Amino acid sequence: MRTYHTQMEAAKKGIITKEIAAVAKKESMEPEKLRELVACGQVAIPANINHTSLSPEGIGTGLKTKINVNLGISGDCKNYDVEMQKVDMALRFGAEAIMDLSNYGKTNTFRQELIAKSPAMIGTVPMYDAIGYLEKDLLEISAKDFLKVVEAHAKEGVDFMTIHAGINRRAVEGFRREGRVMNIVSRGGSLLFAWMEMTGNENPFYEYYDEVLEILREYDVTISLGDALRPGCLDDSTDAGQIGELIELGSLTKRAWEKDVQVMVEGPGHMAMNEIAANMALQKRLCHNAPFYVLGPLVTDIAPGYDHITSAIGGAIAAASGADFLCYVTPAEHLRLPDISDVKEGIIASKIAAHAADIAKGVPHARDLDNQMAHARQKMDWDEMFRVAIDGEKAKAYFESTPPADRHTCSMCGKMCAVRTTNLILEGKKVEFCSEK
């Protein structure tokens, strides 16, 4: 019989849940240490009580950097089969989280199938689904209507939800006063801003925040506090709007913890490389070391078609500087809904960024695979190299596309391979080229 509502409540009571035990094993951490981190909010384990297929993961202090994959149907792309193929791709490459951002029609059929099959944690943005779920236009939706969508997603088994509760009237005043090039680029944030302006009301997720928390607590849904005022271009980064909202998110974090609701805080956005580390430190300070979930940051605005690379650069710096959770970005960012190829490119880029950051942070065992790769390369063991690689199939296809005359080398250097030459000399053999048949 479960004697607690949430992982945080259990941890505060000194209980090591099966989810805490599972995460501790994955992370090579003592369960008691992890319990303490969950109890104080520095680690979140998103695990809805109705997500029975979940393989739990921890996000936060001292743990491996996790990645999230966004997918879902839109009005222009309604193929559920293709979206489920993207799910399979995400699971195959080890994404720890999948966010269903569907915003067209009745999305619950796809979401329920996703939750039933996915061992990865599932996230949503209820604001996206409100119009389709309620079958009302934005102006017709009441404050309490929004809470109905939150409850529906929670019942279905969603592990974490992005709730844009920080864009209240104070934050909007700061945004208007400061002025921006790109204004509001958060989809959920822009919809809430529009609703607030058209109705004259306060943000319903802020006004009824305690009721939102009660819903989330009942199903142990982690709240991911959305950054509605994240910068959408370099020129808007670290401005009054972004920082003003972050201050509000810090207050909302403490209120959630008081209700035993687990919290993640979302962050930028677009940001020059020299600002990233300071932003990570500022977030951790203002939000009391809650886990930080970043989109990018994209470090330049001029690379459409290559934004998986601009995001991976920023994500690696962000995670090495304290971010805990990276949202992938695909080459299709800013251009169209990503196809399956785009999804793969985005996942791999994000996995590289997360892994590089874990090495920099000294996460236990982060370097193990790199050491295995180094030994395989020294021995010219191609099969082992392909096994260890993040995308071994692509590595093998590249190698075999221009096969070398001698399998102990690749076609770049051939018999002049530096590793081959050094190995021969250290084995007491001659290095010969012209006389070899």
| Cα–Cα distance measured from residue 312 to residue 296, given in angstroms and rounded to the nearest whole number | 7
| pTM of full prediction above 0.85 | yes
Helix (H) or strand (E) holding 265: strand 263-267
Residue 417 labelled as part of a binding site: yes
Q: Compute how many other C-beta atoms are within 10 angstroms of the C-beta atom of residue 234.
A: 20
Residue 99 labelled as part of a binding site: yes
Residue 135 is predicted with a pLDDT of 84
- End of a domain among 340, 361, 382? 361
Taking alpha carbons only, the member of 118, 63, 132, 116 closest to residue 86 is 118
Residue 128 labelled as part of a binding site: yes
Buried b (16+ CB within 10 A) or exposed e, 389-411: eeeeeebbeebeeeebeeeebbe
339 and 194 both lie in a single domain: yes
149 and 187 both lie in a single domain: yes
297 and 205 both lie in a single domain: yes
328 and 306 both lie in a single domain: yes
Residue 287 labelled as part of a binding site: no
Buried b (16+ CB within 10 A) or exposed e, 131-162: bbbbeeeeeebebeebbbbbbbbbebbbbbbb
336 and 381 both lie in a single domain: no
Residue 385 labelled as part of a binding site: no
Residue 188 labelled as part of a binding site: yes
Residue 209 labelled as part of a binding site: no
Tracing tokens 């990018």 back to the chain, one arrives at 296
Residue 278 labelled as part of a binding site: no
Residue 329 is predicted with a pLDDT of 98
291, part of any domain: yes
- End of a domain among 328, 344, 361? 361
Residue 48 labelled as part of a binding site: no
Residue 233 labelled as part of a binding site: no
432, part of any domain: no
Taking alpha carbons only, the member of 328, 311, 329, 317 closest to residue 361 is 317
294 and 388 both lie in a single domain: no
Residue 164 labelled as part of a binding site: yes
Residue 425 is predicted with a pLDDT of 95
Residue 153 labelled as part of a binding site: no
Residue 270 labelled as part of a binding site: yes
Q: Domain span at residue 413?
A: 368-426
In the numeric block, which tokens belong to residue 427? 């084995």
377 and 318 both lie in a single domain: no
Residue 129 is predicted with a pLDDT of 86
Q: Give the CATH number, domain containing residue 353.
A: 3.20.20.540
- End of a domain among 330, 345, 361? 361
Residue 102 is predicted with a pLDDT of 84
Residue 293 labelled as part of a binding site: yes
pLDDT, block means (10 residues), the chain with 437 residues = 93 98 98 98 98 98 98 74 94 97 78 95 93 88 96 98 97 92 96 97 98 98 98 96 96 98 97 98 98 97 98 98 98 94 98 98 96 96 97 96 84 91 94 74
Taking alpha carbons only, the member of 102, 101, 25, 26 closest to residue 68 is 101
Distance (Å) of CA 220 to CA 22, 23, 313, 411: 17, 16, 33, 54
Residue 103 is predicted with a pLDDT of 73
Q: What is the DSSP string of 269-288?
A: -B--HHHHHHHHHHHHHHTT
pLDDT tens column, 269-304: 999 999 999 999 999 999 999 999 999 999 999 999
